Amino acid sequence: MVWANNYSRVLQTAKLFVRGFLGTNATLFGDVISVTSRGFPGGIGDSLAPSDMCPTFKDTEGGDSVTKWNSVYIPPIQARLQALIKGNLTLTQNDVSQIPYLCGYESQITGRLSPWCDIFSDDEFLQYEYFQDLRYYYGVGPGTDIPKTMMTPYLNALMGIFDKGPSVTGKREDGSSFSLPKLIMSFLNDGQLNQLVAASGVFDEQQPLSSTEKDDDRLFVSSRYTTMRGTIAFERLNCVVTGNETFASTPRRCNSTQPHPPAQGSRNETYVRIRLNDAVYPVPSCKGGPGSSCLLDDYRTYVAKKLEVQGNWINNCNVTTPGAPTEVKGASFYTDLSSPWLSHVAP
């Protein structure tokens, strides 16, 4: 069982994953839960795309920061390419900014490196990469006001599931129970991925990105996780520690499922570790656990405090829809399949 935002390309991705993961048994044992983010008042703030029903949400795509950076890095490229053109063809700045997309998408579609990739130099691609960083940082990421709060209720609900352990049960439409998968897979769009990354806290110490000068030492590099199959993973680790060791000490043994019975003088501790496309990204204020992880209790507190500071989601979004909740649930769809904004899709 996996969950997917109810957009055609997202559902297609989820279905293909299930087919690859389960093989010939996919149609028998696989199930994609489609989560619709529009049209259901009860689902406001309780979907994989909560921003779809937040009236005050606006993705500026980087706004003035992107405009300023484009005026810095594009003109030299534009002039260089224009000098190579013979005939009546004039490149605009927008034309130049689209060429890297042709490189990436054509390479992905054909399975071989596109000739468009030879048009930019390595340095120019790094400048383009920075343009994308500004687009996400100031569009839907840490450098925003409303967008960066969109997925905090979801993350808070997810950590509530983590707290209950790997044997969580949910309710089906008919009232029967089911066991939540130990691998909780959700498929969403790039905007929601960046909103969730912003909520996670891994970029808390990133200074605001300059719109006039590229920072080569920045931690926030969107191409490292906003990729084809871009992923954020929250790992629940159960580790055995001994004696008076604190969570900052090296654990004796860790696993991501059921805890091992601790030996005499030992105890189990549960941690959360965050990965972006498999690379570990620690939360700066809580990284003393094994592999730069954070005690689950501490991370739950961190997320809950962030949610409190951000304020009431409904009020922030100025939601006036009749039937809307006063407090959003975040992610009830993992444990309650009876909600009307959920449906089953065969792989």
Torsion-angle region of residue 141: left (phi > 0), alpha (psi -120 to 50) or beta? beta
Please name every residue paired with 41 in a beta bridge, in sequence order, or none if there are none. Answer: none
Whether residue 92 contacts residue 172, with contact meaning beta carbons closer than 8 Å, is answered with no
pLDDT at 243 > cutoff 70: no
pLDDT of residue 310: 98
pLDDT tens for each residue of 315-327: 999 999 999 999 9
**Ranges for all domains in the chain classified under CATH 3.40.50:** 2-51+145-345
Assign a CATH topology to domain 2-51+145-345.
Rossmann fold (3.40.50)
Whether residue 224 contacts residue 276, with contact meaning beta carbons closer than 8 Å, is answered with yes
pLDDT of residue 335: 97
- Residue that is written with structure tokens 């989601």 in the block: 313
DSSP 8-class letter at 181: P
Average pLDDT in the 174-186 region? 95
Distances (CA, A) of 46 to 9, 89, 106, 152, 221: 21, 49, 36, 11, 28
CB atoms within 10 A of CB 310: 17
pLDDT of residue 106: 96
Non-local CB neighbours of 299 within 8 Å, separated by 6+ positions:
159, 272, 283, 286
Alpha carbon distance 168, 156 (integer Å): 16
Whether residue 171 contacts residue 335, with contact meaning beta carbons closer than 8 Å, is answered with yes
Distances (CA, A) of 58 to 52, 119, 128, 148: 10, 33, 23, 11
Average pLDDT in the 123-151 region? 98
pLDDT of residue 209: 98
pTM, two decimals, is 0.92
pLDDT tens for each residue of 89-111: 999 999 999 999 999 999 999 99
The number of residues in the chain equals 347
